[in-house]
Amino acid sequence: MNAGAIKPLVYILKTRTKVSKQNAACALLSLSLIEDNKVLISACGAIPPLVSLLLNGSNRGKNALTTLYKLCSMKQNKERVVNAGAVKPLVDLISEQGSGLTEKVMVVLSSLAAILEERTAIVEEGGIAVLVEAIEEGLVKGKEFAVLTLLQLCTDSVRKRGLLVREGGIPPLVALSQTGMTTVR
C-alpha cells in the first residue's frame, strides 16, 4: 500500500490477460481486508473491472466476487457496484446451480439489499423470482441467504411483497419455516 500498489493493480485489471486480471483481483482482495484500503481501491476504479472479470472470467476469475463482497462493506462501494452493472450478472449467477458461487453471490446481493436505494436494482433485474427459486431448490446456506435478502427487499414495500406473492414465494417460505433454519435471524 505504501508503495502505491493499488493503481498498478487496477491497471492490470483493466488491460492485461485473464490470468493477470485474476491475480490482480486476488491481490486486491488481500488489500481489501484493511478497512482504509477499501476506499482507495474503489476510488482508483477497481469496481468496474472487477465486475467485468465476474462477467467474463473463468470460475477462478469469478473469485472477483469475494473482492467485491469485501469492498461492499462500505455504502459508497455498494453504490459503485450497482452503478458498474453488477446486479444483473449476480442475479444470473444465482441460477447457475452447482457453480459453487451461489452462496457467495447471495451474500453480495444481501449486502447490497441492506441499502434502500440498491433494493430497486435487485428487484428490477428479476431478483425476487431467482431468490424464490433458490429457496425451492438451493442448498441450506443458500436458502438462508435468499430468505434474508427477500426480507431486506420486501421490508417497507407493499409492491415488492406483492411481487413476492406473484412469484410464488409464500409456499416455499412456509415450507421452510416448518422445517426450520439455523442461522437466519
In this prediction the pTM is: 0.84
CATH of domain 86-185: 1.25.10.10
Q: What is the DSSP string of 45-99?
A: T-HHHHHHHHHHS-TTGGGHHHHHHHHTTSHHHHHHHHHTT-HHHHHHHHT-TTS
Taking the C-alpha atoms of residue 13 and residue 7, their distance in angstroms, rounded to an integer, is 10
What are the tens digits of pLDDT across the range 38-66? 999 999 999 999 999 988 866 656 778 99
pLDDT band at 113 (very low <50, low <70, confident <90, very high): very high
Q: The CATH number of 1-85 is which of 1.25.10.10, 3.40.50.1970, 1.10.760.10, 3.40.50.720?
A: 1.25.10.10
Q: What is the DSSP string of 161-184?
A: HHHHHHTT-HHHHHHHHHH--SS-
Domain with CATH 1.25.10.10 in the chain: 1-85, 86-185
